[in-house]
Structure 1
Amino acid sequence: MPFQEPKLEKLTHLHFYFHNVNTGDKPTAVRVAQSPATNSSATVFGLVVIADELLTEGLDPSSKVVGRAQGMFASTDMKTITFTMVFNIVFTEGEFKGSTFSLYGRNPITEKVTEMPIIGGTGAFRFARGYALATTVKLDGLNAVVEYNVFIWH
């Protein structure tokens, strides 16, 4: 892509729901590695999961799809259930279709709201920076729906 002149930055607020499905016939998150001690750890320390999660406008997974969260998370804390999250948020519909941003951060899932940084992007989100607030709104065994409020400079 050719060089583009700098543009004025704007702050955009994005709101969507992240659907984490670990069970059933079509899981969107799968365990790919673990340490020898993972199964005996209270925090599943050493677990690595690869994911391609659905992002929707509403809480219900049948609501309008806006994109996918593609990446991985790993249990990286021996004292609390905490994941290091590495995700590309890929928009497949709407104003930002074809654009992505990258989320990388620590997610202590027992906290009511978790803050994680935005560290870049593509398309409309080129040079993006900001933060995401994640709140688990539904937990069904190993499956979860997480509400995301993202504030992104681009």
Structure 2
Amino acid sequence: MLSNKLIFCVSVTLALLVVILLATLSPLPHRKPPPKPWLALSLYIQQPQTASMPNTRTSAPQDAGALIFHRVLTEEPKNTSRVIGKAQGFILPVEQFAHSGFNIIYLTFDTREYSGSVSIKAKNSGSGRTDELSVVGGTGSFAFVRGIVVLTQKDDRDTNLVVPYHIKLHLKYPNRSKSIPG
């Protein structure tokens, strides 16, 4: 009888020691750090290659009803640079539709670092060489982002070639510490 009580007390004591040791010596769980509130990206929208002359200027007629495009996004200005996604858009280049809700550009990313899309509202037809556009949302890695986009294009005057559009994204993530009332 006494030995059963002794065995029970020793077993309980050993079990408590094991639990205490596991609690103090176990590694902490791996948690992803919270995303930074701001993200800056620099990338390039490549121009289409034509069969007759590679990378020459191609433009829509001035009286075009809508400009619909599908382009490749790269890390660097060269068209052989690593592809990180695509740029698609629908622009109505008519002055009375300059503030239309249809003027949207979607940047879709498919990389190890980022997966998702960014929606950009175009304010005008892009007649200038530098435009500042608004980010109105995103999905995946860019869920609910807001921010600005600076879109720039320069000509290569020596060869009359068009270099790709340079895009600088300045994104702000929402404050995720707030809870949604409900």
Question: Which is helix-richer, 1 or 2?
Answer: 2
Q: Structure 1 CA distance, aligned partners of 2:67 and 2:128?
A: 20
Does residue 135 of structure 1 match 2:162? no
How many residues get paired?
Answer: 130
TM-score, L = length of structure 2: 0.59
> What's the counterpart of residue 20 of structure 1?
47
| Superposed displacement of residue 107, structure 1 | 3.9
The question of whether the paired residues in 1 share the 8 Å contact of 2:93 and 2:124 is answered with no
> What's the counterpart of residue 172 of structure 2?
153
Structure with more relative contact order (C-alpha pairs < 8 Å, separation 6 or more): 1
- For structure 1, the residue ranges without an aligned partner over 5 or more in a row are 1-6, 32-37, 79-83
The question of whether the paired residues in 2 share the 8 Å contact of 1:23 and 1:142 is answered with no
Q: Structure 2 CA distance, aligned partners of 1:69 and 1:116?
A: 14
Distance 1:112 1:105, change over 3 A: same
The question of whether the paired residues in 2 share the 8 Å contact of 1:102 and 1:119 is answered with yes
Q: Structure 2 CA distance, aligned partners of 1:113 and 1:138?
A: 12
Does residue 104 of structure 1 match 2:130? no
Pick the structure with greater CA Rg.
Answer: 2
Question: Which is strand-richer, 1 or 2?
Answer: 1
| Superposed displacement of residue 20, structure 1 | 2.9
In the TM superposition, structure 1's runs of 4+ consecutive aligned residues that sit over 3 Å from their partners are 22-25, 107-110, 138-144
| Superposed displacement of residue 109, structure 1 | 3.4
| Superposed displacement of residue 49, structure 1 | 2.1
Residues 12-51 of structure 1: per-residue CA shift (max 9 Å, x gap): 00100011328448xxxx99xxxxxx96xxxx24531221
What's the Cα RMSD here? Answer: 3.2
* Percent identical: 22
| Superposed displacement of residue 137, structure 1 | 2.7
